[in-house]
Amino acid sequence: MSQDDVSKKLTKLVDAEAQTEDPPLPEGRGKSTRAVHGGSQRRKAFNSLNTPIVQTATYTFGDTQELIDFMERKTWGDGDDREEYGRYGNPTVRAVERKLAALDNGEDSVLYASGMAAITSLLLSVLSAGAHIIMTDDCYRRTRQFSLTFLKRFGIETTVVRMGDYDALEAAIIPRKTRFIISESPTNPYLRIADLQRIAEIGQRHRVLTVIDSTFATPINQRPLDIGIDFVIHSATKYLSGHNDLLAGVIVGRADRIRGLRDARGVLGGIVDPQNAYLLERGIKTLGVRVQQQNHTAFAVAQFLEAHPRIERVWYPGLASHPDYDIAVRQMSGFGGVVSFEVAGDLKTTAKFIDHLRIPYIAPSLGGVESLIEQPALMSYYEKTTEERLALGIKDNLVRFAVGIEDTDDILNDLDQALSAL
Ligand SMILES: *Cc1c(COP(=O)(O)O)cnc(C)c1O
């Protein structure tokens, strides 16, 4: 056999195997099982257990007839059986999209190169000049910035309403103009919890699409689509990938809407690359055990800090002292891995406490295996004065602690010794 024959045979084999459809996982399988197996085909190319990294920028056609057949199928809204060009799709990326859809109980999902690429692509894909969107005030800073500055330039107006004020949210809707209600839960840094059911009901009553950034919760702790939300967004950079080694973002929702977003991604260009998609899938497989450990440690940290005389206040939705505790208990199956708190003292005392810690790294971000800590006054809000920060609700003594998967006792002991040093 010539080299060409061998490769032809191999291609046929690969195609045949990749097309073997498996019965989907039965409904009701647990979340960890879905994280490992959800959305994936049991038989993959080359009998590989793992999803192969299809590292290619483009895809070939054997001859002109094959090309014409594909173009015909595509014209009729089909053609999902193969890829055409790297910006439009990739089998490795597609495998992760199916897994993320399974995890969030959505029909389909679409992956992007970052969380912000997901958010901006959604808004750019759907909105036109003259449209209006509503956003809660605790939304991710860059999401707010994109809407209030970039979208404004295209004639799209944003109304920001206070988190928790559902009457104001409903009153802000402008008939036939408002297209999206965008919120986040839990939020950063105060872990405020949006009442997803109320938001979904308001959206449905007025035919406005609802979007929840569920990054802090992960599909392990909360599934907004089950409650009636239209789109779920995650920065997959955080818990989903889980290892602080890549950026990615995802939107999950109804199949027809996701198809539209995927087509738009082919124009806007924000697709994630196959290497990162592979690493993301690898990370997602351990999502269940990681998040359970992080839920456990964060709860223990919150309780420890709340009882500590050198801590003024703790923000954690699993504590009865949190303003949204009741909603959190109703809506979430775990309270997440981030704890925010105020140290008894000023900017310097708080910095000193952080510098005494031995386990967490000082860094933005969250959700990875390593604990990360930050003082928002010196990180995201450095350029502002104490007064300006206070006006934005950011105190100088505020600390955001995103726990990793280190042993709970080691983290508690580390906090204890750093507080003793004050
Ligand atoms: C990090 C983050 C984003 C942005 O995601 P990137 O992957 O950094 O682009 C959006 N929303 C929330 C809640 C985040 O934590």
User: What digits encode the pLDDT tens for the residues 217-256?
Assistant: 999 999 999 999 999 999 999 999 999 999 999 999 999 9
Measured CA to CA, the distance from residue 3 to residue 308 in angstroms comes to 71
Q: Looking at the domain assignment, is residue 77 inside a domain? A: no
Cα(175)–Cα(180) distance, integer angstroms? 12
Please give the pLDDT value at position 20. Answer: 45
Are 280 and 291 in the same domain?
A: no
Domain assignment present for residue 83? The answer is no
What pLDDT is stored for residue 82 in this prediction?
Answer: 93
Could you tell me if 164 and 66 lie in one domain?
Answer: no
Last residue of a domain, one of 257, 284, 311: 284
Say yes or no to pLDDT of 398 above 70: yes
CB 198 within 8 A of CB 208: no
Whether residues 210 and 341 share a domain: the answer is no
Total domain count, the chain: 3
pLDDT (0 to 100) of residue 238 = 98
Q: Which of 295, 314, 291 is nearest to 304 (CA)?
A: 314
Comparing CA positions, the residue from 224, 263, 270, 266 lying closest to residue 247 is 270
Q: What is the 3-state secondary structure (H, E, C) of 145-198?
A: HHHHHHHHHCCCEEEEECCCCHHHHHHCCCCCCEEEEEEECCCCCCCCCCCHHH
Domain CATH code at residue 110: 3.40.640.10
What is the spatial distance between Cα 316 and Cα 189, in angstroms, rounded to a whole number?
A: 10
Tens digit of pLDDT for each residue in 181-196? 999 999 999 999 999 9
Q: 134 near 182, Cβ under 8 Å? A: yes
Q: Is residue 122 part of a domain?
A: yes
Q: What's the CA-to-centroid distance between 34 and ligand 1, angstroms?
A: 23
Cα end-to-end distance, the chain, whole Å: 76
> Are residues 202 and 107 part of one domain?
yes
The H or E element that residue 373 is part of is strand 372-374
Q: What is the pLDDT of residues 262-290, one digit of tens each?
A: 999 999 999 999 999 999 999 999 999 99
**139 lies in the same domain as 209:** yes
Q: Are residues 135 and 251 in the same domain?
A: yes
353: tokens are: 């406490």
Report, as an integer, the average pLDDT of 347-370: 97
pLDDT number for residue 46: 93
**Residue 85 forms part of a structural domain:** no
Judged against a pLDDT cut of 50, whether residue 29 lies above it is answered with: yes
Q: Select from 112, 238, 338 the residue to mutate for testing ligand 1; criterion: most ligand atoms less than 8 Å from CB.
A: 238
- Are 21 and 59 contained in the same domain? yes
Range scoring the smallest mean pLDDT among 23-27, 86-90, 259-263, 343-347 = 23-27
Query: Which region, left, alpha or beta, applies to residue 43 given φ > 0 means left and ψ of -120 to 50 means alpha?
Result: beta
Expressed in angstroms and rounded, the spacing between residue 142 Cα and the centre of ligand 1 is 8
**What band does 24 get if pLDDT is binned at 50, 70 and 90?**
low
Does the pLDDT value for residue 91 go beyond 50? yes
pLDDT at 352 (0 to 100): 98
Is the pLDDT score of 95 beyond 90?
yes
Q: Does residue 16 surpass a pLDDT of 50? A: no
Do 144 and 219 belong to one domain? Answer: yes
Q: Measured from the CA of 366, which atom of ligand 1 is nearest?
A: 15
Which residues have CB under 8 Å from 19's CB, separation 6+?
81
| Angle at 29 (CA atoms; ends 22, 278), nearest 5 degrees | 60
Whole-angstrom distance, CA of residue 36 vs CA of residue 163: 35
Residue 42 belongs to what domain range? 3-71
Residue 19 has pLDDT above 80, yes or no: no
Task: Say yes or no: 122 and 165 in one domain.
Answer: yes
Q: How confident is the model at residue 421 (pLDDT cuts 50, 70, 90)?
A: very high
**Average pLDDT score over residue span 185-214:** 97
In a domain, 76, yes or no: no
Amino acid identity of 400?
Answer: R
pLDDT surpassing 60 at residue 317: yes
Mutate to test the pocket of ligand 1, among 112, 114, 116 (most ligand atoms within 8 A of CB): 116
Compute the distance between CA of residue 162 and CA of residue 16 in angstroms, rounded to an integer: 54
Instruction: Check: CB of residue 228 under 8 Å from CB of residue 105.
Output: no
Provide the mean pLDDT of the chain. 93
Q: Which residues line ligand 1 (CB under 6 A)?
A: 114-116, 140, 184, 188, 213, 215-216, 235, 237-238, 247, 249
Whole-model pTM: value is 0.93
Are 269 and 89 spatial neighbours (Cβ–Cβ below 8 Å)? no
